[in-house]
């Protein structure tokens, strides 16, 4: 069954204050994935 976006979830998604903190969290999280590095797979 399809999940729905509840009114509460939508409020959380669009509230600028909550989203400001989310923005900082997301920026760091993305940076961690990017800065997490990369490498080969064949000799791993």
Partner 1 sequence: MSKIVVLGAGIAGHVAASHLRRKLSKEHEVVVVSPNGNYQWIPSNIWVGIGRMKPKDILFPLAPLYAKKHIDYKQAKAVSFHPEGDSEENKPYILAEYVTGDQKGTQERVTYDYLINATGPKLNFEATEGLSPGKNKAHSVCTYTHAQEAWIALEGLIKQMKEGKKVRILIGTGHAKSTCQGAAFEYILNVEQELRRHKVRDMAEITWISNEYNLGDFGMDGMLMSYGSNIMKSSEMVEMIFEDRGIKWILGAGVSKVEDGVAHYETLDGSYKKESYDFAMLIPSFSGHGFKAYDRSGDDITDKLFRGFMIVDADYTPKPYEEWSVQDWPETYQNPSYSNIFAPGIAFAPPHSISKPRKSKNGTDITPAPPRTGMPSGITAKLVADNIIEMIKHSNDELHHKGSMGNMGAACIASAGFGMTTGSGVSITTYPIVPDYNKYPDTHGRKLGKTFGTIGLAGHWLKLALHYAFIYKAKMKPFWWLIPE
Q: Which residues bind partner 1 (CB under 8 A)?
A: 2-5, 12-16, 19-20, 22-23, 25-27, 29-36, 38-42, 44
Contact indicator for 23, 17 with CB cutoff of 8 Å: no
Q: Least distance to partner 1 from the beta carbon of 29, Å?
A: 7
CA–CA separation, 23 and 13 (whole Å): 11
In whole angstroms, what separates CA 9 from the centre of its chain?
Answer: 15
Q: Least distance to partner 1 from the beta carbon of 25, Å?
A: 8
Q: Least distance to partner 1 from the beta carbon of 7, Å?
A: 12
């Amino acid at each position: 069954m399809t999940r729905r976006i509840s009114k509460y979830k939508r409020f959380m998604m669009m509230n600028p204050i909550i989203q400001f903190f989310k923005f900082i969290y997301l920026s760091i999280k993305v940076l961690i994935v990017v800065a997490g590095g990369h490498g080969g797979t064949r000799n791993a």
